[in-house]
Structure 1
């Protein structure tokens, strides 16, 4: 049954939500040593001519594995160890020409990076492209052991999840995690270790509902389609999609073909629709942007709501995913992913319903090859059922992240953090005066 397959997908990807009354209740590695000083570079990535902010642009220091991502306002923050005196920073974004700037040309703040649009029509390209879009997708999945990292890797990643009631932040959790990533040719699951985390939750803004996102970093890690194709394109379901060629574009100055996919009209259960960005010459997936078909509100709700009060209806209004891959020495690897879950909550005894959104994103900020095959002990691994907002500590230290590369917080998150820190200072003063 298709529905049972979908339920299995959700349980594995741990995209689960708790809607309940308020009674709901090392041996680590780090690539950037905290005792070392660092330089940081801040700015915004925009589209030339239009000045449109470019969201999720990749910012990477060449000849290293250090990188970050621009936020939803196009802003970036790149931290570089002071031991690195020279280097080239590349700025890349879907459909735009990559720009490279030396560290010496970047300012500490207010850098304005303009990227030009680079688009060409599919028929203008003289590449032997398969006529069957589905066959190309299958070939990309079959070649994952050849084109993606085929050895074990230790990755440092920054993870953030937020819960909002309409536009107000009511829960914010962030973490630096260590990912013990297995080869793309292996069926072995990746392991994750929580290195450092912080959180703040104000359930008073949630009426009488507490929302919690179960799974933490696994929510984003399992969006890695190449490593975990079974969560979207399995042999039993790939035939239930329609694949078609769209247009072509450029990523990092390489020609990329865009393939659209959607479920067959005859399929009742919610599947996915979106775009795959494929380097046809190398048969690699560079990026994927897709959504869950939530036309059937009842079925879509069953997939995500684990528990809720009897007198409330909950249904998703948008479920969206994105994953981006990066290239190093001819091999591709997971670089960034995000998940957006938007829900409406309708109480029987209330005139108006409420809108809540839950966002999770994770960016790999550094990595090294795991030549010695280091593994995590069971007690060091975080569980797939983790609720990060229950595990992390508070926001007491404004310099909490130190030298770790993080995704620059949006203005609304920055404002929330400042309020949290001011409140903590007031609490400390009040406590000291008693």
Structure 2
């Protein structure tokens, strides 16, 4: 869950080829080869393993490795994947240019395909295409809140995620905070007692390929229209792209608008982008808002998600989730409302399916808890250690330093 009174913190460790713990750091920036624009949410990983991270909004990444490896893989939606050879004397400040794919779907025949039937078939194949074992994912989770353009809260943690096989429901899946930290703005005016859905349990309920209660379930498909779009490439695999939007309205709940990317070869969901239909603000508020103080008026503007999966040895695993919520709040009798944006991101940095033991319920993070409240219980001065993280953007790094000075 998320609460709006928030933020925690982060710091970029100085780039070094080998740190004090013996880990090798590979860093750099990734751009579009044609436009030279920085690319965010690009996957960087060690081939043959689950170790990886993603770029921040500035296109920058840091990847920590236990030992020197010959190469890393760079993958991004709509671009040709690259294998980057590593040299020990040149591991930092890499400049990597990704080439956009052109004429992507020469081999993908979409005429005559029924998009709704493709979605149904992909749902039928979930238990085959995704992990058949219980798995522990290690991830880096960050939650930020902004009031206007000003960061007022940064909270982050290293988490473990227990996933049962995908043929089972999410009821037994759990999240545990291992280490975390936060920074908060000291201004009372930056604090709101508003609780929103979110937090580290995002890794469970936003895993729409597994969550049978999500909008992407056979019981929900009847409420949507589907349309085939131009295909694309993800991680070297050709993708069907299917857009969806509400066909009708439900009495109490809003529906979603978005796109599903389905692997052409095995019909696995590779990526799903979706946002809440905001046409009925009352329904949208009910879907987003958990609790607020008396007299506070809440006006939702947008809630969007990106969920990414990565194929390893023919099996798809949860890889990355991003959730963004924008809203306005004001108090009765006040003239001006304030705009807020909450962003939650989780990247899987490692995973293990050997000798997996479930996370005890007493140690798991509850969906009804507020992350910015709970994360303070896991504060650790040696937070970074060997964990791979999503590097902070320049604006966030600046905000962190400012918040730290406020708290001295």
TM-score by length of 2: 0.89
- 1:45 corresponds to 2:30: yes
Which residue matches 1:362?
346
Structure 2 counterpart of 1:327, from 311, 319, 322: 311
Structure 2 Cα separation of the partners of residues 226 and 208 of structure 1 = 35
- 1:200 corresponds to 2:186: no
Structure 1 Cα separation of the partners of residues 291 and 334 of structure 2 = 20
Look up the SS of the partner of 1:119 in the other structure.
coil
Structure 2 Cα separation of the partners of residues 150 and 395 of structure 1 = 32
1:399 is displaced (CA, Å) by: 5.5
- 1:282 corresponds to 2:266: yes
1:89-168 equivalence runs, <5 A: 89-104=72-87, 107-120=90-103, 122=105, 124-125=106-107, 131-168=113-150
Q: CA RMSD in A?
A: 2.6
Structure 1 counterpart of 2:246, from 263, 269, 273: 263
Structure 1 counterpart of 2:217, from 229, 234, 249: 234
Deviations 1:134-177 (A, max 9, x none): 10001111111111111111111000001110111111110001
Which residue matches 2:10?
none
Structure 1 Cα separation of the partners of residues 344 and 174 of structure 2 = 18
Which residue matches 2:207?
224
Structure 2 Cα separation of the partners of residues 265 and 153 of structure 1 = 38
Cα pair distance change 1:308/1:55, threshold 3 Å? same
Look up the SS of the partner of 2:207 in the other structure.
coil
Which residue matches 2:335?
351
1:362 is displaced (CA, Å) by: 0.4
Which residue matches 1:7?
none
Bigger radius of gyration = 1
- 1:76 corresponds to 2:58: no
Deviations 1:154-201 (A, max 9, x none): 111000001110111111110001111111112253111110000112
Structure 1 Cα separation of the partners of residues 191 and 237 of structure 2 = 51
1:423 is displaced (CA, Å) by: 4.7
- 1:184 corresponds to 2:166: yes
1:110 is displaced (CA, Å) by: 2.0
Cα pair distance change 1:419/1:128, threshold 3 Å? closer
Gaps of 5+ in 1: 1-13, 20-33, 428-434
Q: Is the 8 A contact 1:220 1:339 kept in 2?
A: no
Look up the SS of the partner of 1:342 in the other structure.
strand
Structure 2 Cα separation of the partners of residues 169 and 413 of structure 1 = 7
Structure 1 Cα separation of the partners of residues 194 and 108 of structure 2 = 51
1:319 is displaced (CA, Å) by: 0.5
Structure 2 Cα separation of the partners of residues 46 and 18 of structure 1 = 33
Deviations 1:254-278 (A, max 9, x none): 2111110001155575200111111
1:23-38 equivalence runs, <5 A: 36-38=21-23
Which residue matches 1:171?
153
